[in-house]
Amino acid sequence: MAARPQAADAVLALALLAVGLPELFLSDRSLEEARLFAAPDPRQAVTVVAVTLSLVLRQRYPLTTLWIVLAGEFLLSVWDYVPSIPDLVAFMVAVYSVAAHRALAHSALGGVAALAGFNALMWSFPVHPTLLEFLTNNALLVGVWVLGRNLRMRRAYFTELEDRAARLERARGSDARAARIEERSRIARELHDVVAHHVSVMTVQAGAARRIIDRDPGGAREAMSTIEEVGRTALSEMRRIVGVLRTERDELARGELAPQPGLGDLGGLLDHVRETGLSVQLWIEGEARTPSPGVDVAAFRLIQEALTNTLKHAGPQARAWVRLRYTAEDLTVEIEDDGRGTATIVADSGDKPGHGLVGMYERVALYGGELRIGPRVGGGFGVRARFPLSA
């Protein structure tokens, strides 16, 4: 990569020599020019070639190139040679290179030296320039220097933009990793909900089987079958979620895992709960609408967690109600029971809510909803959540 700019500069220098040297030796000289300047000879040609070929170094060593060009120009002036196209263009390119490839301090030093040397050369010629020629030549030299500085600043600006884009890309990658970590934390909370529900069902069924095993072996075997089925389901869901926690690619996880449950699976959940002996009724009010996948899962998990708490704390002979109320703007989910679980839940949680209640609050808040949890009027416990359905 470093050789390519040097190759381009070598082509530039050779092109200048190919155009300028023949013109130097073949062009007709006026009588005044022949009288004031020395005739072209090999010494001038060698000096012009050396000055022009120094442009090959202009990008890596711009100040060195400028000193070589200035030294060559002074030698040509001392020997009274007429300026030629190659050395004049080489001088302008050297000034541009110092401004474009060096910091401001070195660039300013080179610019001042070039301006002083250029004016000294102009006034050392046998024919002094007019005021207009003096101003025009100096303006041209300053313009070349300013052009180099502007291009350097633009390159620095674009480099900063590229660096900023790279930093933003790295930050975006970090945010994506943080989002994956947060998603895995959410899934870990899902693990608590799923396992807690199924373990509660298994515990209730095991207790029922223990109480009736002597007088009703058939009922006990049925309870054992339920425990086996619920246990298999719990293990299956645990494997799914642990698989998500282990994977490094969300796309692979989505392809390998079964879909998360939603309100469409609510009937199966209520059947499992009824098998434990808890009476649960379901009401659906309003025209059912399809919520977003996230709200669908969140509402299902909320009902699952609330019923799990009812199984744990409501006591025997308790009843529960699940109500889904659809409106044009939102979905309201209510889970209530008439058990004695209010004091038990408060005593178990102390000053801080349990993980299940915290998971409820976080899940509802994630989708911009509202959640109220507390005792019912007349006894029992209630959970009420509102999920917005609009995007």
Q: Model-level pTM?
A: 0.42
The pLDDT score that the predictor gives to residue 356 is: 63
Question: Average pLDDT in the 197-221 region?
Answer: 79
What pLDDT, on the 0 to 100 scale, is given for residue 248?
Answer: 47
* H or E element at residue 380: none
Q: Higher-confidence residue: 170 or 325?
A: 325
Q: How confident is the model over 37-54, as a mean pLDDT?
A: 84
pLDDT reported for residue 44: 83
User: Which band of pLDDT confidence, cut at 50, 70 and 90, is reported for residue 188?
Assistant: low
What number is the average pLDDT over the span 11-23? 82
Element (H, E) at 274: helix 266-275
Q: CA of 157: how far to CAs of 1, 64, 108, 162, in Å? A: 22, 26, 20, 9
Q: Where are the beta strands (DSSP E) in the chain?
A: 279-285, 319-326, 330-337, 370-375, 381-388
* Segment 216-273, tens digit of pLDDT: 888 778 878 888 777 777 776 666 566 555 554 444 444 444 567 888 889 989 988 8
**d(C-alpha 64, C-alpha 55), whole Å:** 10
The answer to whether the CB of 101 falls within 8 A of the CB of 59 is yes
Residues 372-382: tens digit of each pLDDT: 998 888 788 89
The rounded percent of the chain whose pLDDT value lies above 90 is: 10
Per-residue confidence at 27, pLDDT binned at 50, 70, 90? low
Q: Which pLDDT score is estimated for 28?
A: 62
